[in-house]
Every structure is written in C-alpha cells, then in structure tokens.
Amino acid sequence: METSPGSRPSKAAVFLDRDGVLIEDRNYVHRVEDVKIIPGGPAALKRLTQQGFMLFIVTNQSGIGRGYYTLEDMHRVNAFIEAEYAHAGVRWHRLYFAPEAPDAPSRGRKPSPQFIFDARDEFGVDLARSFMVGDKISDLECGWNAGVERALLVRTGYGSKTEKRYADRMSQAVIVDDLPAAADWIIQRVRSRPDNDPNRGHPGG
Ligand SMILES: [Mg+2]
C-alpha cells in the first residue's frame, strides 16, 4: 500500500519509546545526570541507520502534566540522549512527545497512533514496512493501532513486567531482551525479504 503523499518514495522507519528502551527507566527521568544509556543501544541504532531506516522517538512524558518537571527539563534530557546516540553514528528524524497527564485530553499520547501517522504524513514513512519498539503495552498498542509491520517488546524497563502481565496478548508481539536484540531482529527480518533494502521489495512477495 502506498502511504506517502505525492510521488515521494516511501521509507521504512523504526519508532522507539524513550524510557526503558533507549535509556534505563528510572521513573520520570528529567535530569541529564540521571540518564543511563542502554548498553549497546547506540551501536544497535547505528546499524538501523546504516540499513536505511528512518528513526523516530515517540515518548509519553506525563511527568510534565503531573507537574514533576518542566518542558525545558525534558528537552534538555532529550537533546542529551539524541546527542549520545548521534555521536555513535545514529541519524534521528524526529522526536514526538505527549506532555499531558494520563487523564487529560491528548492528541498523541500512546496508545494513540497519532504521532506515527504524523511521521507517515511528514516524512513519507511506509508503515507496513516499519516497526515499533517499546517496553509497555501502550507502546505495542500504539504500533498495532498505526498498522506497523511488527511491534517489538524489549525486556528492559517495564518490559519483563509487561510480558507477564499481558501474557495473553504477547503472541502478537515480538519479544526480545533489549534494544540491540530488537535491532538485530529487525535487520534479520529485512534480510529475509526478497530484496535486502528495507525500502524496496514487497512483504511476502
Ligand atoms: Mg517506556
């Protein structure tokens, strides 16, 4: 299915949750000194960049709506995380965040697929050939709601808890240990296609 606007070629993407996926989840991380990058994460995402995937961060930041920290705190932490990955050769395309508390109206708070749709519309992402990686059920639901090829659950962050608590829904998900394992799974998936380029060829064809 062609999902990109106009004649722009569609591209595959990987959508990534932040806390518990790119960095350790230490409950409402809002200071740079509390950021702990997931071991092997930057090298893993560099491999995805080299494979031609566009990379997006999609993060719920309810700590802002709850009054725990400010928008500026979040931007500072985001910039630090993005730079740590970029130094390793990762190319980011955009970060989407939902600052609202869980009970407040929100345009894009996961499990809403809205931010993934925004990326599709703005960057010409082919969702049927794209992936979502997260540690909570709302991350997986966001990917499923958007119609990505597969949603991957990492066991870091809340992932192990999610795996047990929502065991009845895990058959839909791809479960891996961590971000490096997620990247490896995605790269293997692409290599198993008739055309190794993530942006060409046809699923199942
Ligand atoms: Mg998370």
Break the chain into its structural domains and give their ranges: 13-191
Neighbours of ion ligand 1 (CB under 5 A): 17, 19-20, 135, 157
CA of 204 to the centre of ligand 1 (A): 31
**Structure confidence by residue, pLDDT tens digits, 4-38:** 444 455 799 999 999 999 999 999 999 999 999 99
With a CB cutoff of 8 Å and minimum separation 6, the contacts of 35 are: 23, 29, 77, 80, 81, 84
- Please tell me the distance between residue 7's alpha carbon and the centre of ligand 1 in angstroms: 35
Give 82-101 pLDDT, tens digit per residue: 999 999 999 999 999 999 99
Phi, psi of 158 (to 5 degrees): -90, 5
Q: Provide, rounded to the nearest whole percent, the portion of the chain with pLDDT above 70.
A: 90
Annotated catalytic residue 184: no
C-alpha–C-alpha distance, residues 40 and 26, integer Å: 18
Active site residue 118: no
Cα gap 153→165, rounded to integer Å: 13
* Catalytic residue selected from 17, 135, 139, 178: 17
pLDDT of residue 193: 81
CATH class of 13-191: alpha beta
Rounded to two decimals, what is the model's pTM? 0.92
Phi-psi region of 6 (alpha: psi -120 to 50; beta: other; left: phi over 0): left
| DSSP annotation of 92 | -
Give the model confidence (pLDDT) of 30-81 as tens digits: 999 999 999 999 999 999 999 999 999 999 999 999 999 999 999 999 999 9
